[in-house]
Amino acid sequence: MAESLQDLLDRLSPLLVDGSPHAQALGLALDGLGPGRATMRAPYRDDLVGDPETGVLHGGVVTALLDHACGVAAFSGLGARETPATLDLRIDYMRPAQPGKDIIAEAECVRAHGLIAFVRATAHDGDESDPVATAQAAFMVTRPSKEAADRVRTIIAEGKL
Amino acid sequence: MSDDLIRTLLEAPYVSKFGVRFERRGDELTGVLPYAEHLVGNPLVPALHGGAVGAFMEVVASGALLAAQPLMRLPKPIDVAVDYLRPARPQDVYARAVIGRSGSRVANVRVEAWQNRRDAPVATLHGHFLIKPVPADS
């Protein structure tokens, strides 16, 4: 029987964060992964603060978290076969995140077809109805990203993973 | 110019963690994001993380606003739109900002980031920032 998308996602999920040095450097964690959906968390950490006076996390952490969560949702929405590249990412910063709290991003792939995926995401620090930021992004399976996915498949097929 | 705030911006834990620095000539400012392995988003391409490049351009936008005029506090991003034009390779990234309009409360900024060739940008950013200029009579 063919492997279901959820089974494939469950098998690949450790790679989607640990395979990215920058996501690891920020301590990003994948809290949930489903067809066309991803929930990711950026931990509150002193070394990620943007304004030492207020202790608020740097906007860049929110940017990277939303980019990564949207990318994972696009990957899933496209059938978990290719890792798409970000074409554009638009972020509205609604309010500063509360010091001491993790930031959670919920990303949903609105439409995926062919090589393109459209994603919407919300980042919050506990209450989804009171977002820190919202984002909208478009992704595409580009030639470099397709070649990279082919290399992963070869590594998996050779049993090195 | 807001030299103290530029220092505050660069010394913030997140910004100093990634080693962002500014090269300034008068009111013109070029940001430098020195390559480090922890900036890589996808090692298989290999390409720098889109979030890292986007965040770097936000820092450069803030730096350019601070270099252009005296401000009371750090600019706060309201919204940003980032276009990714090419994979950012594992090497240094540079960025320069152009201020579209800078009013009494909000500034409109465009940033271009490049690597080897200035005319082949890897990403661009367009954003609005909340600013608080120092009153002219002070």
User: Quick one: tokens of A101?
Assistant: 């709290």
Check pLDDT > 70 for residue B123. Answer: yes
What end-to-end distance do the CA atoms of chain B give, in Å? 14
User: Is B82 touching A (CB cutoff 8 A)?
Assistant: yes
Tens of pLDDT, residues B72-106 = 999 999 999 999 999 999 999 999 999 999 999 99
A20 and B13 in contact by Cβ < 8 A?
no
Name the residue among A63, A85, A142 with its Cβ closest to that of B51.
A63
Tens of pLDDT, residues B5-50 = 999 999 999 999 999 999 998 878 999 999 999 999 988 888 999 9
Domains in chain A (CATH in brackets) are: 5-157 (3.10.129.10)
- Is residue B98, in this structure, part of any structural domain at all? yes
Check pLDDT > 80 for residue B138. Answer: no
Instruction: From chain B, pick out residues whose CB is under 8 angstroms from the CB of A21.
Output: 37-41, 43
Check pLDDT > 70 for residue B1. Answer: no
- Is residue B92, in this structure, part of any structural domain at all? yes
Query: For residue A160, what pLDDT is reported?
Result: 64
Name the residue among B12, B45, B58 with its Cβ closest to that of A63.
B58
Question: Which CATH number characterizes residue B118's domain?
Answer: 3.10.129.10
Domain count of the fold of chain B: 1
Query: For residue B26, what pLDDT is reported?
Result: 80
For CA atoms A143, A3, A7, A134, the dihedral sign is: positive
User: Quick one: tokens of A5?
Assistant: 């998308």
The 10 Å Cβ neighbour count of residue A11 is 13
For residue A117, what are the β-bridge partners?
A112, A139
Query: For residue A14, what pLDDT is reported?
Result: 83
Question: What is the Cα–Cα distance from B18 to A158, expressed in whole angstroms?
Answer: 36
If chain A, 161 residues long, is cut into consecutive pieces of 10 residues, what is the mean pLDDT of each piece? 82 86 95 96 95 90 96 94 91 95 98 96 96 97 82 76 59
Percent of chain B with pLDDT over 70: 99
Instruction: State yes or no: cis peptide before B46, omega within 30 of 0.
Output: yes
Question: What is the Cα–Cα distance from A107 to A133, expressed in whole angstroms?
Answer: 12
